[in-house]
Structure 1
């Protein structure tokens, strides 16, 4: 499994050092919060020790460590998401990049050591506990787990490297120059010292350990001092993503409240972005001291995909999530960071259209949540949003562009929601708009059902659903005069009233349609009513929503509707016409992707009617 995911064997050391760094961060934070913690925090560091003769490489830290149960939970299984699920998604990955992307999602970096080792041994003791734990495995699906009494605080991982003459031994990972190269390339920014423990000399004494990393926080260095590769490695360290970020965002605030931020827009959405347990937020530091791994208070939920670091100068070191949510400084930081992220997306839109297209494809559905939840930044979110339309197969457009190319006399921005572009374009509601060349926004994300109503208008133009309310597109394009329309309305008046009476339990009203040109009928919601999809969404969230009656619209120019009207005016026995009315309504419901209230009855009526036509 490891060989199918990792393409560069050197990264095993990056993963182990990164895990050790996390353990040191957690111990420092725990010590700040718990004065009774019996743990030594005076010299926190990471050590790397190589034994050339024994062909072992050991990475140890004196951080938080793990208990016996934690080792079984975190190390004995491939991440909390589960081994089976990981392997299934790995098999389904369509390319190498997709496979590598899974590694960070499931947190299996520890296992990368098996690329270079035949066996791995882990010895750990959680800070504050007396007993340690030893875990060992040869990477063949089993492991041993036992308690030990002499384990030092922290975690030590020893890799029993593969033989030097094996096909997998491309490099000598016991070589000091190779270890220096890997740490400098991948882990130079780690805020804790990464020390190389040299082998004893001929006199039996070992020289002083050599610190391999600069420990300079990238966000505290000037832009000219830091390369893109260094930024990318920091992103991979904090996000556990194996791909480079799409964009790097720097921010330095000075004045009464000072802080520095280094944020990243990922190139790909994680698989669990829309799950309840998705860990969002950026890392919070105070004066270079790590405080919190996923500080949710720094960015709103609709920017939960943003990763990065914020380092504040004036916050207390001993803060909790509850305190942060109420802290005025944190609220000011959130507003500033939010505006910075949105302005960076706008710069992508204007300066790097290809990058923006990638960003919107991956995160557009999340960003649009802010149109509902963040009224203060609604205009800024709308400015960086783009939507598929009937005017273009490939390129989405902004609302600004849509308004600029509206037809003369068009007074609204028209849109329609649905499961897919194809289902929307085939909807009866689109017929008159298509015939008259009126552009319609095609909204296929679940959140689109909500934000369009919340926003209401853009640039003074109301947003109108083509599936709601009475659409008046004027007489241009239908070839009828006003007098002809009035005559037609009068001719159908009795039929409409009769059908409303017959379908009273199913519909709110029956009326003639100005939006149909091909289909016989369609169902629409009131202007301020809920669509069926929105009702279903609220019910899925556990909210009680009363069923809403909808309006049945008939196409007066369709042969079926004309025939029904003629039959109604000519017959005294209208029993069979009641069935025709039910079928017409059922067909309209089916056409928009719904289903009749009584599917079995609808099928029977349809089968009987087809039989009589043979």
Structure 2
């Protein structure tokens, strides 16, 4: 196939321009990215050779090689890994394969300092593009395992690239950087200098499992016969290749852990917490996991892969270890190395494997326990964790019944108490009055909406703390009527509010029920399409009315969530509660009594009262246009 000139896709071209010209304080990062990509290619070739006995590939000496040339000012990073086909090159290098590139462009453009912009590039898997930070031209020659002809890709980063056949390409991938001229600004970063490269590999890639080699010049001393000293070229391995997950935490520095985390996750932040686990006994395995300090920008993307890499006896199996942790812990990054799994294990076998299920249970408990330790011992770090991952972590309250109580204990919640900090359930219970045996909560779309809800008026007046739950997942887990510490969760928007203080209040309530009985029966009849019952309440102090669900009914927000997911949910009638001390209610009661049998004129007032209750709780009217007309007609009538 002849040489072809292509243009970068629009998003890739814009990203390339931003990467090349952004204010990176540490250009050394390009080498880390290229070596990391080479390591992935070597992992994939060894795995492919294990699964495909017909794959004609030599895996006896898999490695990465650095070849600097000071005179030509070039640096080549080569591996004998899986390689790429021509289609792979065009798809993966000419475009940005991951989603969210528009966000990436905006984030890079808006980054106000070197550190902020530097943290972004790795989050989108575009490490290859970082080569253009230090190179005037990038040339890649690659041949995919099992193919006989390779591909040559070349670009100066000006918006176009060329693709040729490379008949003599060696197996794997070799990337040659034509380095930018050395000057005073990068005197300490001369990437054609072997000593600079040795230091960078030691600092950033020492833990890579494959040998990273470079030819070095050494002086051989004269022999005993008086011969002259000679100079020879020898292969030097620059990295230790030590698996960090096989070591105890005392043997590894924080910086080594941080670099390993960046290698695994392709993120640039520091890990918030490192979790090391060595299991012996029936199932032997090592695990090294990290809680990130920043959320990945694809955390809610459907196509994102799992955060754990699975190895079997140091042999890479998959970088999408979705079976090792549940979805609600998808932000966790790390490695699991099992001793007794088959090297030829498939995704289907992983899902069914008894050892994998046992490892998963242990990992989940370890992560949840670590979150709890942060909460107890490092409140600032826990606050950072909760801000970034709390909404995802709480998905476990729906999806992981076995660990429900542990997740509840490790979670915090907004509440009506006067504090900028959310509360644990343990602290909430400790503050409860002795006579309060339940945990009050209310759900809604936003905290502001919940705080303005009339349902809270009576509880606020009596100083009763209520949890304010505004995450969508809160609608789901609270609907299962959970308990904590023997106390049931009770919605302030469901059932009857037990806010009476004494028997006298109950007697007074019974008298008022009798006084308003006819009005309540009439309202129930007029509003029968939406209201199951009308009753007086102690729940309200300022508002005229509110709508309350039955104890076991769905909330309006949960109904909306189910409908948004395509599920058919019948319309739930709710109870209309009236504040007998509100002028609108007492006025309506008087008008109802005075109207005798001619009460049709009051129907519009009843409908407006219901609509006001819906709007006050942040709900949506079934027919806003009809409500607007009804309100307009009522206002006009009042002005006559």
TM-score (norm 2): 0.92
The residue that corresponds to 1:487 in the other structure is 511
Taking the aligned partners of 1:4 and 1:118, their CA distance within structure 2 comes to: 16
User: SS where residue 298 of structure 1 aligns?
Assistant: coil
Taking the aligned partners of 2:391 and 2:315, their CA distance within structure 1 comes to: 35
CA 1:18/1:5 → structure 2, altered by over 3 Å: closer, same or farther? farther
Taking the aligned partners of 2:216 and 2:563, their CA distance within structure 1 comes to: 64
The residue that corresponds to 1:353 in the other structure is 379
Question: In the alignment, which of 49, 56, 66 is matched to residue 84 of structure 2?
Answer: 66
1:494 is displaced (CA, Å) by 0.6
Taking the aligned partners of 1:348 and 1:247, their CA distance within structure 2 comes to: 9
The residue that corresponds to 1:582 in the other structure is 607
Taking the aligned partners of 1:92 and 1:579, their CA distance within structure 2 comes to: 53
1:87 aligns with 2:112: no
* Contact 1:116 1:169 (C-alpha < 8 Å) held by counterparts: no
User: SS where residue 414 of structure 2 aligns?
Assistant: strand
1:16 aligns with 2:34: yes
User: SS where residue 311 of structure 2 aligns?
Assistant: strand
Say how many residue pairs are matched. 612
* Contact 1:46 1:192 (C-alpha < 8 Å) held by counterparts: yes
The residue that corresponds to 1:182 in the other structure is 200
* More displaced stretch, 242-251 vs 410-419: 410-419
1:552 is displaced (CA, Å) by 1.4
1:511 aligns with 2:535: yes
Taking the aligned partners of 1:258 and 1:84, their CA distance within structure 2 comes to: 44
* More displaced stretch, 54-63 vs 223-232: 223-232
* Contact 2:202 2:238 (C-alpha < 8 Å) held by counterparts: yes
After superposition, residues 2-13 of structure 1 pair within 5 angstroms as 2=19, 3-4=21-22, 6-13=24-31
The residue that corresponds to 1:230 in the other structure is 256
1:254 aligns with 2:271: no
The residue that corresponds to 1:457 in the other structure is 483
The residue that corresponds to 2:345 in the other structure is 319
The residue that corresponds to 2:123 in the other structure is 105
CA 1:41/1:50 → structure 2, altered by over 3 Å: closer, same or farther? same
Question: In the alignment, which of 440, 458, 463 is matched to residue 432 of structure 1?
Answer: 458
User: SS where residue 274 of structure 2 aligns?
Assistant: strand
* More displaced stretch, 507-516 vs 58-67: 507-516
User: SS where residue 553 of structure 2 aligns?
Assistant: coil
1:341-375 alpha-carbon deviations (Å, 9 max, x no partner): 11111111111111111111111111111122222
1:421-462 alpha-carbon deviations (Å, 9 max, x no partner): 211111101100111100000111111111122352111111
* Contact 1:586 1:595 (C-alpha < 8 Å) held by counterparts: no
1:205 is displaced (CA, Å) by 9.1
1:308-367 alpha-carbon deviations (Å, 9 max, x no partner): 011111111110111111111111111111111111111111111111111111111111
User: SS where residue 392 of structure 1 aligns?
Assistant: coil
1:117-150 alpha-carbon deviations (Å, 9 max, x no partner): 1111111111111121111111222222222211
The residue that corresponds to 1:328 in the other structure is 354
Question: In the alignment, which of 403, 409, 423 is matched to residue 383 of structure 1?
Answer: 409
The residue that corresponds to 2:549 in the other structure is 525
1:267-304 alpha-carbon deviations (Å, 9 max, x no partner): 12212212221211411111111111111111122111
1:444 aligns with 2:470: yes
1:203-248 alpha-carbon deviations (Å, 9 max, x no partner): 9996122100000001112322210100110000001110011000
CA 1:21/1:539 → structure 2, altered by over 3 Å: closer, same or farther? same
User: SS where residue 246 of structure 1 aligns?
Assistant: strand
* Contact 2:25 2:115 (C-alpha < 8 Å) held by counterparts: no
1:610 is displaced (CA, Å) by 2.1
User: SS where residue 310 of structure 1 aligns?
Assistant: strand
CA 1:94/1:608 → structure 2, altered by over 3 Å: closer, same or farther? farther
Question: In the alignment, which of 131, 140, 146 is matched to residue 122 of structure 1?
Answer: 140
Taking the aligned partners of 1:82 and 1:449, their CA distance within structure 2 comes to: 28
The residue that corresponds to 2:524 in the other structure is 500
* More displaced stretch, 143-152 vs 198-207: 198-207
Give structure 2 stretches of 5+ with no counterpart. 1-17, 221-228
RMSD (Å), alpha carbons: 2.1
1:167 is displaced (CA, Å) by 5.0
* More displaced stretch, 565-574 vs 216-225: 216-225
1:556 is displaced (CA, Å) by 1.0
CA 1:552/1:385 → structure 2, altered by over 3 Å: closer, same or farther? same
After superposition, residues 572-611 of structure 1 pair within 5 angstroms as 572=596, 573-611=598-636
Taking the aligned partners of 2:433 and 2:166, their CA distance within structure 1 comes to: 78
Taking the aligned partners of 1:157 and 1:82, their CA distance within structure 2 comes to: 26
CA 1:258/1:190 → structure 2, altered by over 3 Å: closer, same or farther? same
1:95 is displaced (CA, Å) by 6.1
Taking the aligned partners of 2:119 and 2:450, their CA distance within structure 1 comes to: 33
Give structure 1 stretches of 5+ with no counterpart. none
* Contact 1:50 1:199 (C-alpha < 8 Å) held by counterparts: no
* Contact 1:116 1:168 (C-alpha < 8 Å) held by counterparts: no
* More displaced stretch, 503-512 vs 58-67: 503-512
The residue that corresponds to 1:37 in the other structure is 55
User: SS where residue 350 of structure 1 aligns?
Assistant: helix
